[in-house]
Amino acid sequence: MIHDDSRPAPSPPRHRVELDDISALRLLGSVPLGRIVFTQHALPTVRPVNHALDGGDIVIRTHEGAALTSHTRHAGAPGVVVAYEADAIDPRTHLGWSVVVTGYARLVTDPDDLAHCRALVRPWVDQAMDQVVRIRPDLVTGILLTADDRSGAA
């Protein structure tokens, strides 16, 4: 019989803690990368992007040819519905957190706001990222995964 040592050892139980909106957004703002989910050709599409928080909104930079740029440019008020997710979960211990924001995204067109947002988010790809999308959170959910302290251990 062959023993496979490449499999991770079983993890002890985890405890899931629901986060309030402020704590969840604070954690989301502590990491530079996340994933935006939007609809393209009537199907969900996910893209990794970097972000910054600005007055409670999430801002990301895109390029002129991006599907998200096109969707937000042609959306009426209040914008197009998107989800945004960021997390920091240790692959070894499975401890960490995850935050999902659902809200409306709109293309930033005001020149002053555009300059402000461009200064907040530096593109992480080697491509002209001169468009900015602002996401206004309507629903914020977050969880914290901690070691299960209910095991009776002191």
In a domain, 130, yes or no: yes
Which secondary-structure segment (H or E) carries 116?
helix 111-120
pLDDT value of residue 153: 42
Per the structure, how many domains does the chain have? 1
In a domain, 2, yes or no: no
d(CA 69, CA 80): 11
Tokens of 39: 């609809």
In a domain, 154, yes or no: no
pLDDT value of residue 20: 97
Low-confidence ranges of the chain (pLDDT < 70): 1-12, 65, 71, 76-77, 149-154
* Burial label, 88 (beta-carbon count in 10 A; 0-12, 13-18, 19+): middle
In a domain, 31, yes or no: yes
Q: Helices (DSSP H) in the chain: which residue ranges?
A: 21-28, 67-74, 111-120
pLDDT value of residue 122: 83
CATH at 54: 2.30.110.10
**What domain range includes position 20?**
15-146
Which secondary-structure segment (H or E) carries 35?
strand 33-40
pLDDT value of residue 133: 92
Residue reference for tokens 């990222």: 129
pLDDT value of residue 152: 42
User: 134 near 73, Cβ under 8 Å?
Assistant: no
In a domain, 100, yes or no: yes
Enter the DSSP assignment of 1. -
pLDDT value of residue 12: 66
